[in-house]
Amino acid sequence: MKIYHIVSVNNWKRAESYSAESLSSEGFIHFSRLDQVLGVANAFYAGQRGLLLLEVDVDRLTSEVRWEAPVHPSMPAPGTLPSESLFPHLYGPLNPEAVLAAHPFEPNLDGVFVLPETL
């Protein structure tokens, strides 16, 4: 099974492990299923450039994944994210060998994201 994480190019470094700011502040790293990626991207990253979409193999992760209700550090517009959906949360650092691909993830000229053609 694959899960996905949005990260800036500057924050993604292939080292021993990757830790998003949310690991310190919330205790986990936010991930999405493929069908959730665009809702997350357009709600929280609209218009941002210099992003990657990490494609991660759950079976290769060394930290625990829990499927939980969405946690919103800032609330998006109503109806943007399906509240009934469970999201994968990684409770620990992301080990780079679990990353299958780092897809360039740029919004269109209007600031709206579409999935990379490589997916």
Domain residue spans of the chain:
2-104
What fold is seen in the domain 2-104?
ADP-ribosylation fold (3.20.170)
Three-class DSSP category at 92? coil
Structure tokens at 54: 């990490």
DSSP annotation of 93 reads P
CA–CA separation, 65 vs 42, rounded Å? 24
User: Which residues, 6+ apart, have CB-to-CB distance to 96 below 8 Å?
Assistant: 14, 15, 16, 17, 18
Output the tens digit of pLDDT for each of the chain's 119 residues: 999 999 999 888 766 678 888 888 898 999 999 999 999 999 999 889 999 999 999 999 999 999 988 876 554 444 455 545 789 999 999 999 999 999 999 999 998 999 998 88
Query: Taking a C-beta distance cutoff of 8 angstroms, is the pair 5, 30 a contact?
Result: yes
Q: What is the length of the chain?
A: 119
